[in-house]
């Protein structure tokens, strides 16, 4: 580090160094056309991951690990929200067919109601169904990401 850079880092306010600059770096990260394309694909693909409440953390981790643009990834994850809940059931049913188990007969409003009533019991009752849904998503996601 040069003396001028060291001097600037020492005189720069702490809030700018610890808050403003990391945000600016995130906004500028992954802005090449290739990285933007992958940011869109990651946001759309991860935005339909079949576990409620997990897509934001998964997008943060994936975009950080792959050097993708965080805002673009989250914008397209959010754009997938209208499809997210219906696709949870689609992925669960696909996974249940793959594993040869009886299909879940609850609707989305019924599932949401049971989740809101008791999340811990919901996880116990529908853990295997979630695993089936994740398995189906893992088979579909690479094809979807490449198609986007």
Q: Is residue 58 part of a domain?
A: yes
pLDDT at residue number 106: 80
d(Cα 121, Cα 84) in Å, to the nearest integer? 22
Q: Is residue 6 part of a domain?
A: no
Q: Which domain holds residue 124?
A: 30-147
pLDDT tens for each residue of the chain, 148 residues long: 455 545 555 678 888 887 777 767 766 666 778 888 999 999 999 999 999 889 999 999 999 999 999 999 999 999 999 999 899 999 999 999 999 999 988 888 888 899 899 989 988 999 999 999 999 999 999 999 999 8
Predicted TM-score of the model (pTM): 0.76
Provide the number of structural domains found in the chain: 1
Residue 55: name the closest of 96, 32, 83, 33 by CA.
Answer: 83
CB neighbour class for 133 (10 Å; exposed up to 12, middle 13-18, buried from 19): buried
pLDDT at residue number 19: 72
pLDDT at residue number 31: 74
Q: Is residue 62 part of a domain?
A: yes
pLDDT at residue number 46: 98
CB neighbour class for 85 (10 Å; exposed up to 12, middle 13-18, buried from 19): middle
pLDDT at residue number 23: 67
């Amino acid at each position: 580090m040069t003396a001028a850079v060291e001097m600037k880092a020492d005189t720069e306010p702490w809030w700018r160094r610890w808050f403003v600059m990391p945000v600016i770096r995130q906004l500028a990260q992954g802005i090449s056309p290739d990285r933007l394309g992958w940011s869109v694909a990651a946001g759309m693909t991860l935005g339909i991951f079949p576990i409620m409440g997990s897509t934001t953390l998964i997008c943060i981790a994936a975009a950080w690990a792959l050097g993708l643009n965080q805002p673009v990834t989250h914008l397209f994850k959010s754009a997938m929200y209208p499809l997210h809940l219906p696709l949870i059931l689609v992925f669960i049913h696909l996974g249940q067919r793959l594993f040869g188990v009886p299909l879940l007969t609850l609707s989305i409003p019924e599932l949401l109601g049971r989740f809101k009533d008791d999340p811990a019991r919901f996880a116990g009752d529908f853990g295997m169904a979630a695993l089936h849904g994740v398995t189906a998503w893992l088979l579909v996601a690479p094809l979807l990401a490449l198609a986007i």
